[in-house]
Amino acid sequence: MTVPSPAPLARAAVRWSLGHALPRTLLRRAAREGDLHGRMFVATQSGDLSALEPVLDELRGHGPFYRGKYAAVSAENAAVRELLSSPDVASGFLPTDGGSRLARLQGWSMIDAPLGPLTPPSLLVTEPPDHTRYRKLVTRVFSVRAVEQLRGRTQQIATDLLDRIDPGRPVDLVAGYGSLLPVTVIAEILGVPEHDRDKVLRFGAAAAPSLDLGLSWREFRRVESALREFDRWLDHHLAGLRRRPGDDLLSQLVAAQHDGVGLTDTELKSTAGLVLAAGFETTVNLLGNGTALLAGHPEQRRLLAEHDDLWPNAVDEVLRVDPPVLLTGRMTTADAEIAGVPMPRGSAMVALLAGANRDPRVFPQPGTFDVSRENARDHVSFSAGRHYCLGAALARMEGEVGLRTLFERYPDLRVEPGAVRRDTRILRGYERLPVTLKP
Ligand code: HEM
């Protein structure tokens, strides 16, 4: 009988301790001591931004960056933009000193970590020159012009999905519409067959907490197991495309491998997995958050009915007020000055996207939802700099088609009691949004 080696479990325990248990304990303790970074961590446990509002004001009172015990945090629009565009920062929070005991322990623990959105070679945590190489291969498919060609098909998918719903009975808008529209679109772009879409949706939902800090051991194990399953499915899917290429993006990436200009197997899987998961795990939140906001603001709905050219702006206003991604992190790779503040090499920094979107110096009355706000597009919900969201044009188009089709057909849509926010911290949206389309 073979005895399973304890090393994989020990490595998982170290990954969890360093990535979740330790930061959670330290940040909670810091919160009790009044540290604003710690208080921000505690205030973002629920999806409700109102708990964060007072912390945002205090953070901004400290200037472009608040220096917390563990990281510098910014909720200012200009400073967040400067941070995200700085050449002296890298994404992710990995220790930069490869020689320290902690770095060695972490390196050991990552040997058999599953591929995920925050493990290299994911685009999200890769920097030039590799980052430039990966992005070049996928950018073309997601350009504004390429996305405009998908508008007609997206419209048809939205209409078909609504046709399937009985408008007189309460329905969960997330399960019946908001999650299905983006997954259908991205699956068509990437050549994922229809019978696999449910499975892909399940992987995405199970892996979504992988972006969070402070997971329990049980959640962490569940997430890693979903990532491994997703990895196996990708292996199988890519092998199928190698045998029978289509005219989708993934087939093109596989073909580029053979031309010698493409990606290694791991790079291909990581890029494909990220584009696929990011393609629906965020846009579902835009659709849910937008539905709830519009349902709660009849005067804004009337404005849109009278001026339908305001729809693109309304989507940006939804992204500003209720952003699908809460924050992102960076670390300085050299001594730097960001927004006039000196940051020594190795400084950890948090860009609070939701805070930058409510910076009162950029957005007067930032808490007000106003679809005609002139500078709604100045939000940073898609980040900034070289990691600026690859799918921003696609997400905006899907948001516009999805929300507009819904509200033009059902202008009196009503949210019913029982709405539940997702319990993920970084990805913000509704888990369940019961609505009656035609009350
Ligand atoms: C409303 C929907 C979306 C939101 C709010 C959103 C948000 C973001 C944000 C904030 C980042 C950068 C994170 C950072 O700077 O650390 C990002 C990156 C990314 N997004 Fe999106 N996203 C959305 C939809 C999409 C879609 C539809 C796709 C599909 C193509 C996509 C693919 C990506 C990819 C591949 C990256 C990594 C880019 C890089 O690191 O160079 N996203 N997204």
Tell which atom from ligand 1 comes closest to the C-alpha of 324.
5
Give residue 280 CA to ligand 1 midpoint distance, Å.
10
Query: What is d(CA 225, CA 219) in angstroms, rounded to the nearest whole number?
Result: 10
Three-class SS state of 352: coil
Report yes or no on 1 lying in a domain: no
Which tokens in the block code for residue 57? 């004001």
Instruction: Find out whether the beta carbon of 394 lies less than 6 Å from any atom of ligand 1.
Output: yes
Give residue 124 CA to ligand 1 midpoint distance, Å.
9
Report yes or no on 154 lying in a domain: yes
Give residue 390 CA to ligand 1 midpoint distance, Å.
5
Place of tokens 């519409």: 177
Query: What is d(CA 164, CA 174) in angstroms, rounded to the nearest whole number?
Result: 14
Query: What is d(CA 405, CA 134) in angstroms, rounded to the nearest whole number?
Result: 35
Alpha helices in 47-129 (DSSP H): 53-60, 77-85, 101-109
- In DSSP notation, 368-405 reads S--TT-TTGGG--TT--GGG--TTHHHHHHHHHHHHHH
Which residue is closest in CA terms to ligand 1's atom 34? 390
pLDDT of 41 reads 95
Dihedral sign, Cα of residue 436, residue 428, residue 132, residue 79: positive
Give residue 413 CA to ligand 1 midpoint distance, Å.
29
Place of tokens 């960001």: 338
Q: How many domains are there within the chain?
A: 1
Tell which atom from ligand 1 comes closest to the C-alpha of 91.
16
**CA distances in angstroms from 84 to 12, 74, 348, 385, listed in the order given:** 31, 11, 13, 5
Give residue 77 CA to ligand 1 midpoint distance, Å.
18
Which residue is closest in CA terms to ligand 1's atom 11? 389
Which residue is closest in CA terms to ligand 1's atom 39? 387
Instruction: Find out whether the beta carbon of 135 lies less than 6 Å from any atom of ligand 1.
Output: yes
Amino acid at 207: A
Q: What is the DSSP letter of 435?
A: E
Three-class SS state of 386: helix
Give residue 382 CA to ligand 1 midpoint distance, Å.
6
CATH number at residue 216: 1.10.630.10
Give residue 197 CA to ligand 1 midpoint distance, Å.
20
Instruction: Find out whether the beta carbon of 124 lies less than 6 Å from any atom of ligand 1.
Output: yes
Give residue 398 CA to ligand 1 midpoint distance, Å.
14
Instruction: Find out whether the beta carbon of 341 lies less than 6 Å from any atom of ligand 1.
Output: no
Report yes or no on 399 lying in a domain: yes
Instruction: Find out whether the beta carbon of 320 lies less than 6 Å from any atom of ligand 1.
Output: no
pLDDT of 256 reads 78
Exposed/middle/buried for 136, CB within 10 Å: 0-12, 13-18, 19+? exposed
Instruction: Find out whether the beta carbon of 275 lies less than 6 Å from any atom of ligand 1.
Output: yes
Question: Can you give the pLDDT of all 439 residues of the chain as single tens digits?
Answer: 555 567 999 999 999 999 999 999 999 999 999 999 999 999 998 778 888 999 999 999 999 999 999 999 999 999 999 999 999 999 965 554 556 788 888 889 999 999 999 998 999 999 999 999 889 888 888 888 889 999 999 999 999 999 999 999 999 999 999 999 999 999 999 989 999 988 888 888 888 898 998 999 999 999 999 999 999 999 999 999 989 998 888 888 888 776 666 788 899 999 999 999 998 999 999 999 999 999 999 999 999 999 999 999 999 999 999 999 999 999 999 999 999 999 999 999 999 999 999 999 999 999 999 999 999 999 999 999 999 999 999 999 999 999 999 999 999 999 999 999 999 999 999 999 999 999 8
pLDDT of 141 reads 83
Give residue 381 CA to ligand 1 midpoint distance, Å.
9
Give residue 166 CA to ligand 1 midpoint distance, Å.
33
Which tokens in the block code for residue 290? 């937008």
Q: Which of 116, 340, 76, 298 is nearest to 210 (CA)?
A: 116
Report yes or no on 122 lying in a domain: yes
pLDDT of 249 reads 87
Give residue 207 CA to ligand 1 midpoint distance, Å.
16
**CB contact at 8 A, 375 and 383:** no
Tell which atom from ligand 1 comes closest to the C-alpha of 138.
35
Alpha helices in 164-282 (DSSP H): 173, 180-190, 197-207, 217-243, 249-258, 265-281
Give residue 26 CA to ligand 1 midpoint distance, Å.
29
Report yes or no on 2 lying in a domain: no
Instruction: Find out whether the beta carbon of 210 lies less than 6 Å from any atom of ligand 1.
Output: no
Instruction: Find out whether the beta carbon of 274 lies less than 6 Å from any atom of ligand 1.
Output: yes
**CB contact at 8 A, 356 and 76:** yes
Instruction: Find out whether the beta carbon of 81 lies less than 6 Å from any atom of ligand 1.
Output: no
**CB contact at 8 A, 261 and 156:** no
Residue 143, C-beta contacts closer than 8 angstroms, at least 6 positions apart: 393
- In DSSP notation, 85-101 reads H-TTEEES---S-TTSH
To test the pocket of ligand 1, the residue of 189, 283, 390, 401 to mutate (highest count of ligand atoms within 8 Å of its CB) is 390
Task: Find the domain containing 311 and state its range.
Answer: 7-436
Q: Which of 159, 45, 86 is nearest to 340 (CA)?
A: 86
Instruction: Find out whether the beta carbon of 279 lies less than 6 Å from any atom of ligand 1.
Output: yes
Q: Which of 106, 416, 119, 415 is nearest to 266 (CA)?
A: 119
Query: What is d(CA 222, CA 169) in angstroms, rounded to the nearest whole number?
Result: 34
pLDDT of 102 reads 83
Question: Angle of helix 283-295 relative to helix 311-321, nearest 10 degrees?
Answer: 100
Three-class SS state of 268: helix
